[in-house]
Structure 1
Amino acid sequence: MNTLDKLNIGDKMKVKSIQKDSPVKRKLLDMGITPGVEIAVTGKAPFGDPLEILVRGYKLTLRKNEAMVIKG
């Protein structure tokens, strides 16, 4: 199972789960990142943090530690 932070620009993944004990789980769910949704990586900062994603038709920017808990 891959995590969102390991994807490259242009890659897509379908969310399978979000780490249960993550302190950002509620925030991610509220932003529309739920199991079954497709995410596309649209941009990354020079060192990979933060990364820009396209989810449900809008763009979000996530920190690497937030992206690490999203599994596809």
Structure 2
Amino acid sequence: MKTLREVKCGETVRVQRLNGSGALKRRIMDMGITKGAEIFVRKVAPLGDPVEINIRGYELSIRKNEAESIEVI
């Protein structure tokens, strides 16, 4: 499975599964990143952190470690 961190700039993907547990998983879900949500990757910083995405009509920046815990198709 591919993670959100591996997605290239300009691609649109759909969330397949959220890995992790506890506070990290809850935080990701609170940002609107849930199974089935469509994500458009706007920008990836030169060193890969953060990743700017569009999800559910708003812009969001997430860290590399958060992006690694989101499996996409």
Higher helix share: 2
* Structure 1: gaps (5+ residues): none
In structure 2, the partner of 1:15 is 15
Give 1:31's aligned amino acid.
Answer: M
Q: Share of identical aligned residues, percent?
A: 46
TM-score by structure 1 length? 0.93
Moved over 2 A (4+): 20-23
Look up the SS of the partner of 2:66 in the other structure: helix
In structure 2, the partner of 1:36 is 36
* Structure 2: gaps (5+ residues): none
Higher strand share: 2
Q: How many residues are paired up?
A: 72
Distance 1:60 1:53 in 2: 5
RMSD: 1.2
